[in-house]
């Protein structure tokens, strides 16, 4: 039995899903915890309700639907393209609104026409909300992680720093702290004199031998922890990252990019102008962005509803390109959110790459907006 009642508009919502030729699926409330802990990101990890099986396996109450729906698709060996719809309870530790609430959404798996699938996800989310909230003016915020990644890569930062910045995309506080570290590097501290000397000498063989001897002397098992080689490699990487400094010109370029906030109809020109002025080649990322804008226009989506914000991301680590959120103009409540997650299926065990995009609807927030 559900712990809370379904919203009164659920039948309208299911009718919208059916009209979009989706297959409705459900997934167990109790889920293996590992995929969420490994893939979903820190924001969701700290809000999960954990438990365990009789055998000690880590389990959790379902905190979202995207990972369970993808796992179900892989386990059932269904072909693609496939469009799934869901409606059910999710469980998260929340400051307000209760820890149990309903989510619904669509996951679009396997469509190789990326711009068209992206446009369909935004268009479907907006159309469903328009039916549930007649007379309300919607506002859509769009970001693109792939464009941010292209900018970071074009700046020529070490791979480790690129990963750090990309991982922080969408978390303004974390990203600003990382940029501050890049401008004023904090050198590695707390190393023993011997480790510091061997790192400074760039003598990897001697460093590995020293770490191995130390582990043996202190009783650390290489089977239960990282190998000496792995520890040495990580120490060298940490040293390199700590000594990397982003020069003032590159820092200003990155800050300029992150400050872009324009109506989507002007976004392609703004990004192209930014890249030209900065001397950056963003190539495929800009082509894909332009293709998505064209696909949205061709699908009849009102581009005047959409703003592009370069710094905008969503707090789930599996997104790879498009990210978006939809609310009602004048309200801060996020009613729908989604994006593209092309790497998730293979991370979950799919034998081949499956492009994917989708969105979720927060039904409790929609219900509140309907009552306003």
Residue-level length of the chain: 372
- Return the SS3 of 332: coil
What is this structure's pTM?
0.82
Binding residues for L-histidine: 64-66, 92, 103, 107, 314, 318-319
**Upstream peptide bond of 150 is cis (omega within 30 degrees of 0):** no
- Return the SS3 of 143: strand
Q: Say if 180 falls within a structural domain.
A: no
Q: Say if 279 falls within a structural domain.
A: yes
Whether 64 and 127 map to the same domain: the answer is yes
Whether 72 and 216 map to the same domain: the answer is no
Q: Say if 176 falls within a structural domain.
A: no
Contact 357, 116 (CB under 8 A): no
Whether 36 and 82 map to the same domain: the answer is yes
Give the pLDDT of residue 3. 58
Contact 305, 130 (CB under 8 A): no
Give the pLDDT of residue 174. 82
Whether 89 and 220 map to the same domain: the answer is no
Six token digits for residue 30: 């109790």
Whether 294 and 338 map to the same domain: the answer is yes
Whether 132 and 279 map to the same domain: the answer is yes
Q: Say if 33 falls within a structural domain.
A: yes
Six token digits for residue 91: 């469980």
- Return the SS3 of 306: strand
Q: Say if 163 falls within a structural domain.
A: no
Binding residues: 64-66, 92, 103, 107, 314, 318-319
Strands 50-52 and 58-61: antiparallel
Which CATH number does the domain housing residue 364 bear? 3.30.930.10
**How many domains, the chain?**
2
- In the chain, which residues have pLDDT < 70? 1-3, 95, 184-203, 219-226, 232-245
Q: Say if 3 falls within a structural domain.
A: no
Whether 26 and 145 map to the same domain: the answer is yes
Task: Write the pLDDT tens digit of every residue in 106-153.
Answer: 999 999 999 999 999 999 999 999 999 999 999 999 999 999 999 999
Q: Which helix (H) or strand (E) holds 327?
A: strand 322-328
Give the pLDDT of residue 253. 92
DSSP 305: G
Q: Say if 177 falls within a structural domain.
A: no
Task: Write the pLDDT tens digit of every residue in 221-250.
Answer: 544 456 777 776 665 656 555 555 677 888
Whether 93 and 138 map to the same domain: the answer is yes
Contact 173, 43 (CB under 8 A): no
Q: Say if 255 falls within a structural domain.
A: no
Q: Which residue range forms the structural domain that includes residue 118?
A: 10-150+270-371
At 274, give phi and psi (nearest 5°). -60, -50
Single out the residue in 204, 225, 243 at which a domain terminates: 243
Contact 346, 354 (CB under 8 A): yes
> Which stretches of 153-211 are assigned E, i.e. beta strand?
none
Whether 146 and 278 map to the same domain: the answer is yes
Region of 198 please: left (phi>0), alpha (psi -120 to 50) or beta. Answer: alpha
Whether 114 and 19 map to the same domain: the answer is yes
Whether 25 and 126 map to the same domain: the answer is yes
Whether 365 and 221 map to the same domain: the answer is no
CA 298 to chain centre: 27
């Amino acid at each position: 039995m559900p712990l809370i009642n379904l919203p009164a508009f659920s039948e309208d919502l299911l009718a919208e899903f059916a009209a979009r030729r989706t297959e409705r699926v459900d997934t167990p409330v109790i889920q293996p915890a590992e995929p969420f802990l490994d893939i979903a990101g820190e924001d969701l990890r700290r809000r999960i309700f954990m438990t365990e099986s009789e055998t000690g396996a880590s389990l959790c109450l379902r905190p979202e639907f995207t990972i369970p729906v993808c796992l179900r698709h892989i386990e059932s060996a269904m072909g693609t393209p496939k469009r799934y719809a869901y409606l059910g309870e999710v469980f998260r530790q929340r400051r307000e609104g209760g820890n149990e609430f309903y989510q619904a959404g669509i996951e679009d798996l396997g469509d190789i026409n990326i711009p068209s699938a992206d446009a369909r996800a935004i268009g479907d989310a907006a159309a469903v909300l328009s039916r549930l909230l007649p007379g309300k003016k919607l506002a859509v915020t769009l970001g693109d992680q792939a464009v941010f990644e292209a900018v970071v890569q074009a700046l020529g930062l070490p791979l480790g720093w690129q990963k750090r910045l990309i991982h922080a995309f969408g978390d303004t506080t974390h990203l600003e702290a990382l940029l501050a570290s890049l401008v004023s590097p904090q050198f590695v501290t707390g190393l023993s004199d011997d480790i510091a000397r061997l790192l400074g000498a760039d003598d990897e063989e001697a460093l590995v031998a020293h770490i191995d001897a130390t582990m043996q002397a202190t009783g650390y098992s290489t089977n239960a922890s990282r190998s000496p080689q792995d520890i040495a490699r990580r120490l060298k990487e940490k040293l390199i990252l700590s000594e990397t400094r982003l020069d003032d010109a590159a820092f200003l370029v990155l800050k300029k990019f992150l400050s872009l906030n324009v109506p989507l109809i002007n976004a392609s020109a703004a990004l192209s102008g930014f890249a030209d002025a900065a001397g950056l080649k963003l190539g495929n990322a800009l082509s894909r962005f332009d293709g998505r804008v064209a696909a949205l226009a061709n699908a009849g989506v009102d581009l005047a509803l959409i703003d592009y914000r370069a710094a905008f991301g969503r707090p789930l680590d599996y997104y790879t390109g498009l990210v978006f959120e939809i609310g009602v103009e004048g309200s801060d409540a996020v009613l729908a959110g989604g994006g593209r997650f092309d790497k998730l299926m293979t991370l979950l065990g799919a034998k081949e790459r499956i492009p994917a995009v989708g969105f979720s609807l927060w039904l409790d927030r929609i219900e509140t907006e309907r009552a306003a």
